[in-house]
Amino acid sequence: MDFSLFDQLQNPVLVLDRDLKVSYFNHICGTYFKMPPRKLKKSEKLEDLIQTKQVNLSALAKDALKQGASKVTQEIGVLAGENEREAAIILKFIPVGDQNIVVHVMDFSIEKQLHEKYKKQILELKETHEQIVRSDKLTALGELISGISHEIATPLTIVSERLGRMENALFVKDWERLSEAVPEVQKEFLRITQIISGMQSYARNQEDELQVCNLKSIVDESAHFIKELNILGKIELEIKADGDHLAMANPLKLQQVIINLIKNSVDALKEIEKEDKKITVVIEENDHEQIHTLKVADNGPGVAPELRDSVFEMFYTSKEIGEGTGLGLSISQKIIESHNGEIYLADSQSGCEFVINLPIVEVGSFTHTNRYLRGECEIEDEKVLVIGDDIPLLNKVYQKLKSKNKVCVLSSKVDNARSLADFFVIDKAIKLKNCDLSFLEVEALDLTGATEEEALKQIEKNI
Amino acid sequence: MSEGLKIEVERKPSEVEVVFEGQIDEDADFSSLSGLEAQVMVFNLEKVSLINSCGIREWVEFQKKLPKETKLVYRKCPQVIVEQLNIVKGFIRDNSLIESFFAPYYNEARDQEVKVLLTPSQVKEGKAPVIKDEDGSELEFDEIEMQYFSFLKNG
């Protein structure tokens, strides 16, 4: 049989006879194996050219010949040619009649090397990004400490003054003055305790944990922090939010974003002369799109049209050198994206308005738990709907179900749960509050009124 | 990361010689040559040790960006380049010149592989020229002539 047609191919092709001896090789074999034809001709068997411990090449060739059917290897690591060059290849054994086997070599070494190289580079980029985020947090922490020192000094001064008064009252046995001073001292100590508690929550290493949060509380805490920094001056900070807005979020990271946006507004407003300087934070729920919308707006100078596209770019800053890192908005964007949300600069008539869209808790809990979506498991897990309105308990149940590899859909509202049940097939349900879940057509584990311990025990037993 | 590609430019009265050394792969950076103008540009490829499929793409793209009126000359093409010349269309630019290239020979008496620098004119009718060692022994051409010299026919 004439195999010279294989010389037209750009992949190495060898032909073995029925004793598995190399009887022909196409022209590219010389280039591929880095061997002149003089040496190639001396190669008696395939293993002289391709060495591997992953698969028995001769056995595979024999099988192909015996069964009269092609055999293909998986991607295997081999040592190719005389200089034993490492390569990643796929071999195909094609029987030709009962006398010959054509061996086709597909080399994926370059693809594999590139894949590994770029994977490593992406990991390095991610690490660099993490470092930048950490560095930004340290800057924020520095500002926090400076603000906190100031905040603690004030109540301590008051406590010191009140203790002096108490000492005098004790000396003259003025019990009325003494009893008046005690609650004032307690109040100041409570204030210090709250500040320290805030610091502890900041320092806790739970940054990547997502939990059920009330966005209203996060915005309130951010506003409180801004006020503690004493940077507002005459700027009015208004929060507009009706009711609770539950989302799956990392409260500290979200606070970092909101504080950053408010501080940017403060900086912009401080640059202009104006009477009624104002920053407004609004939280709304968009039932149709199943998102919460959080807007941070100010009546400052706004962003120049030519700069609008650059605001989220890393190291972009409109501030003076040394005053801004240019990382805040870029980091904020990454944080919001990690919450499956979006952040953008709205096209407002005056001032500046940043809009953040975050999925409602029902969508957030599903996507954050769904390992299938992240490609970590191939089989879709059982989906459990949990309905309740006690945020700490919801979080405990969420963690419990997550630890049991369940895909969790948390909900505080029956209406939201009902519309989500149209999208996801709910396998099980847990009720933590009185409500009608008959639309689910699955039996609900009723834990209404159960204590946290009882609820978790029941879940452990039944789910 | 690969060992990289070094590029050096030498301006001579009649030509600009660009000397390449190392691997031409996905990291090959030809940007230092952008804007380089010459009537005759000679690519000295003697020290190119490897070229892979990503490198070929970079190489072809790089040549496309060079001024069309510049005459390209390929000097001292090693075997790895000749192999690409034989299989990749567009590896060298149209109307360019292969000035010299290496060909593999084998000295049987000494069991020694040698690379001999040839010019296209030495290859007559697709046959490798006779090369002898210092002792006058004839060397054996260590490739398949029809395949190794096929780039000369294409040119």
Contacts of A236 (CB under 8 A, 6+ apart): A276, A277, A278, A279
Mean pLDDT of A116-129: 87
Q: Which of B54, B87, B106 sits opposite A110 (nearest CB)?
A: B54
Is pLDDT of A183 > 90?
no
Tokens of A259: 């504080």
Q: d(Cα A91, Cα A108) in Å, to the nearest integer? A: 11
Q: Does the pLDDT value for residue B40 go beyond 60?
A: yes
Contacts of A331 (CB under 8 A, 6+ apart): A132, A133, A136, A256, A260
Complex ipTM, two decimals? 0.81
- Is A54 an 8 Å CB contact of chain B? no
User: Which pLDDT score, from 0 to 100, does residue A242 have?
Assistant: 83
Instruction: List the single range of A142-146, A212-216, A235-239, A376-380 with lowest mean pLDDT.
Output: A376-380
CA dihedral A131, A136, A137, A138 (to 10 degrees): 90
Residue B124 DSSP class: B
What gap in Å lies between CA A220 and CA A336, rounded to an integer? 18
Q: What are A81-93's pLDDT values in tens digits?
A: 988 999 999 999 9
The minimal CB distance from A27 to the residues B106, B140, B144 is found for B144
Query: Predicted confidence band at A371 (pLDDT cuts at 50, 70, 90)?
Result: low
Where does the pLDDT of residue A200 fall: very low under 50, low under 70, confident under 90, or very high at 90 and above? low
User: Given an 8 Å threshold on Cβ–Cβ distance, is A114 in contact with B54?
Assistant: yes
Residue A91's beta-bridge partner residues?
Answer: A105
Q: DSSP assignment of A157-184, as one string?
A: HHHHHHHHHHHHHHHTT-HHHHHHHHHH
Q: Do A366 and A407 contact (CB within 8 A), yes or no? A: yes
Q: What is the dihedral of CA A380, A382, A385, A390, to 10 degrees?
A: -100
Assess A36–B contact: CB distance below 8 Å, yes or no.
yes
Cβ <8 Å between B87 and A110: no
Give the range among A325-339, A384-398, A417-431, B125-139 with minimum mean pLDDT: A325-339
SS3 A251: helix
Mutation for B interface: A11, A38, A85, most B CBs within 10 A = A38
Average pLDDT over all residues of chain A: 84
Tell me whether residues A36 and B52 touch, CB distance under 8 A.
Answer: no
Nearest to B144 among A10, A37, A114 (CB): A37
Residue B125: other Cβ atoms inside 10 A? 6
Three-state DSSP at A415 gives helix
User: Which pLDDT score is estimated for A350?
Assistant: 83
CB spacing of A38 vs B104 below 8 angstroms: no
> Is residue A206 very low, low, confident or very high in pLDDT (cuts 50, 70, 90)?
very low
Cα A55 to Cα A59: distance, rounded to the nearest angstrom = 9
CB contact under 8 A, B144 and A30: yes
Mean pLDDT of the B61-90 span: 92
How many CB atoms are located within 10 Å of the residue A204 CB? 10
Residue B149 has pLDDT above 90, yes or no: yes
Q: Using a CB-CB distance cutoff of 8 angstroms, which residues of chain A are in contact with residue B141? A: none
Overall average pLDDT of the A406-434 stretch: 83
Cα–Cα–Cα angle for A235, A238, A239, nearest 5°? 150
Closest residue in A to B54 (Cα) is: A110
Contact A110 B1 (CB under 8 A): no
Can you tell me the distance from the alpha carbon of A146 to that of A130, in angstroms, rounded to the nearest whole number? 24
Report the distance separating Cα A69 and Cα B125, nearest Å: 43
Mean of pLDDT over chain B: 91
Contact between chains at B113 and A36 (C-beta distance less than 8 A): yes
- Which positions in chain A touch B3 (Cβ < 8 Å)? none
Do residues A23 and A16 make contact, with C-beta atoms less than 8 angstroms apart?
A: yes
Predicted confidence (pLDDT) per residue in A244-269, tens digit: 899 989 888 898 899 889 988 998 89
Whether A401 and A463 have beta carbons less than 8 Å apart is answered as yes
Q: Which amino acid is at A166?
A: M
Test mutation, A27, A83, A86, A121, chain B, max B CBs within 10 A: A27
Distance from CA of B152 to the nearest CA of A (A): 17
Residue A112, min C-alpha distance to chain B (Å)? 13
| Span A389-403, pLDDT tens digits | 888 899 899 888 888
A48 CA: distance to closest CA in chain B (Å): 19
Tracing tokens 């919801």 back to the chain, one arrives at A394
Q: How confident is the model at residue A24 (pLDDT cuts 50, 70, 90)?
A: very high
Cα-flanking dihedrals φ and ψ of residue B94, to 5°?
-60, 150
CB-CB contact of A162 with A188 (8 Å): yes
**What is the spatial distance between Cα A148 and Cα A444, in angstroms, rounded to a whole number?**
48
Query: In this structure, what DSSP letter does residue B66 have?
Result: S
**pLDDT computed for residue A322 by the predictor:** 41
